[in-house]
A and B are shown apart, each in its own frame.
Chain A
């Protein structure tokens, strides 16, 4: 049973436009959400996170939106750059349980075309 779902395996956008990556979750205990970026044959790198007490968090070109009622979050990248081409993983954690376990989605491969 997949608790974190990234339903789009891939996304292609033009340089300079907005990239929107989506993530849905099923576990209502999740209260902390993260996005990671991963290049081939490398470890993921942390991008941005959001706590369930917020509905938006912004860091430069990256903004994460959280809709708790819909159990949905999205990552917006504006403007998209060719260097943003990578696989993006959504991850969630139920922090109140005292565990730091993260549950990852399967990832969305973003391609930004020049």
Chain B
């Protein structure tokens, strides 16, 4: 089955530790995205990548880093510099189909930092 997988579903870390969230897609999509969702805030874009080995900062990139070494994978590292890391993190992917910009989302990872 084609889709986007994020693991783990729940993640707990101590403050001061870096943590990497996994995102894999087998949809052959070129573009991938990371969002975080906080209560009452909707979805805010952290980073996105339109092609392998290239990525751009979104609206709230501070304290995060990404890599895009393979088309299928777009891991997100939440560093100790991120002031409020506890959130629900969503990965998405999309393909340009002549103006059709639908993004397909993974199931999300809830990160709790204490």
Which of A's residues lie within 8 Å of B, judged by CB? 6, 9, 32, 34, 36, 41-46, 49, 51, 89, 93, 95, 99-102, 104-107
In the complex, per-residue mask of B75-108: 1 if CB is within 8 Å of any chain A CB, else 0: 0000000000000101010101001111111111
- Size of chain B's interface in residues, with CB distance under 8 A? 30
Question: Which residues on B are within 8 Å of A, measured CB to CB?
Answer: 4, 6, 31, 33, 35, 40-45, 48, 50, 58, 88, 90, 92, 94, 96, 99-108, 110
Q: Are A95 and B99 in contact (CB under 8 A)?
A: yes
Apart from A43-B90, A51-B99, A102-B45, 9 more pairs, CB < 8 Å = A32-B101, A41-B88, A43-B92, A93-B101, A100-B48, A101-B33, A102-B101, A106-B41, A106-B42
Interface of B is mostly: strand
Q: How far is the CA of A95 from the CA of B97 in the complex (A)?
A: 12
- Among A34, A43, A95, A104, chain B packs the most CB atoms within 10 A around the CB of A43
Can you show 22 pairs from A to B with CB atoms below 8 A apart? A9-B40, A34-B101, A36-B105, A41-B88, A41-B108, A43-B90, A43-B92, A43-B105, A44-B90, A45-B105, A46-B103, A49-B101, A49-B102, A89-B43, A93-B101, A100-B96, A101-B33, A101-B45, A102-B45, A102-B101, A102-B103, A107-B42
